[in-house]
Amino acid sequence: MIANMDWYRVFYFTAKAGSLSKAAELLFITQPAVSHSIKQLETKLGGALFFRTSKGVKLTAEGEVLFKYVEQAYRFVETAEKKIAEMHLLLAGELRIGASDTLCKHFLLPHLSDFHQEYPQVNIQVTNRTTRETVALLKEGQIDLGIVNLPLPSRDDQLNVQESIPLQDGFVAGERYKHLADNPLPLGQFRELPLIMLEQNSASRQYVDRFFLEHGILLRPEIELGSVDLLIDFARSGFGIACIIDNFIDTPASGGSALYRIVPEQPIPSRKIGLITLKDVPLSPAAKQLIALLPGG
């Protein structure tokens, strides 16, 4: 095992300089300190590393072998220092993000595009998961930053949570059900509608379900899908009334057949997007820069 890295440092500079006194000058220590370190290393390794000449010192055969590897180690250290400097300047590095399909497309992507244009050397990895799964990936060290739907299922002291933009849940329908858009509907009437909603394991679905349950209403959707974009497509096609995020659509028309807002008499309270990181785990320069670009970061 390496007993003292300073011994190897002194050995390296002495071998490069070919002189104890020159090594002492380069290391800003005394010549006796250089001699002592080399003697300690020789004792540790069990053989002489230098022999004296009229011009200074030269490596023994054992010293040549040691120098070969120590020099490689120094080159690796120099390379590592260079890479770290590049990471701080965002000339290299990696950025690992977790987000749902919807948040990735409608919230993250525009800002990530700006980030990538400015720092193209940073490798970007995006993992699409639900909020619950994104939290788990963060705790497992598989991502650096999670973009999630708030509120989280429970308080978690391991997480830093920064609130971003507010989200408003709502309902839309296509031409077939546009008559429902004439007036706000009582909450109880939504129980009777052909609803199209996200899957039960999504944070957005759970939030809406919880709101209606607080008013004594259990929603039983006819269709469950995996993304807000699919909800909108199914609503346009006349399958029913889709529960969507208002922020991410335009009405009455959005890229095709008209969409109409179906408004509850009592609106669903707004919630927020959250930026989550682990407490006590330093963020990479790339992660810090992206967070600074995101609303609320």
pLDDT tens digits, residue range 61-120?
A: 999 999 999 999 988 888 888 778 777 777 778 899 999 989 999 999 999 999 999 999
Regarding whether 67 and 40 lie in a shared domain, the answer is yes
| Structure confidence at residue 256 (pLDDT) | 53
Beta-sheet strand order (sheet of 159-167): 123-128, 94-99, 145-149, 271-278, 159-167
Regarding whether 151 and 223 lie in a shared domain, the answer is no
| Structure confidence at residue 250 (pLDDT) | 60
Query: For every one of its 297 residues, what pLDDT tens digit does the chain have, with 9 covering 90 and above?
Result: 566 889 999 999 999 999 999 999 999 999 999 999 999 999 999 999 999 998 899 999 999 999 999 999 988 888 888 778 777 777 778 899 999 989 999 999 999 999 999 999 999 999 999 999 999 999 999 999 999 999 998 888 999 999 999 999 999 999 999 999 989 999 999 999 999 999 998 999 999 999 999 999 999 999 999 888 999 999 999 999 999 999 888 644 444 568 999 999 999 999 999 999 999 888 888 999 999 999 987
Regarding whether 112 and 100 lie in a shared domain, the answer is yes
pTM above 0.75, yes or no: no
Regarding whether 289 and 147 lie in a shared domain, the answer is yes
Overall residue count recorded for the chain in this entry: 297
Regarding whether 184 and 139 lie in a shared domain, the answer is no
Grouping H, G, I as helix, E, B as strand and the rest as coil, residue 241 is: strand
> 136: which 2 tokens?
């788990």
Q: Structural domain of residue 105, as residue ranges?
A: 95-166+273-293
Report the number of distinct structural domains present in the chain: 3
Closest CA to 144 of 103, 104, 94, 88: 94
| Structure confidence at residue 3 (pLDDT) | 63
Regarding whether 152 and 288 lie in a shared domain, the answer is yes
Where b means 16+ CB within 10 Å and e means fewer, 43-67 reads: eeeeeebbeeeeeebebeeebeebb
Alpha helices in the chain (DSSP H): 5-17, 20-27, 31-45, 61-88, 101-103, 109-118, 131-139, 203-213, 228-236, 285-293
- SS3 of 183-208: the string is CCECHHHHHHCCEEEECCCCHHHHHH
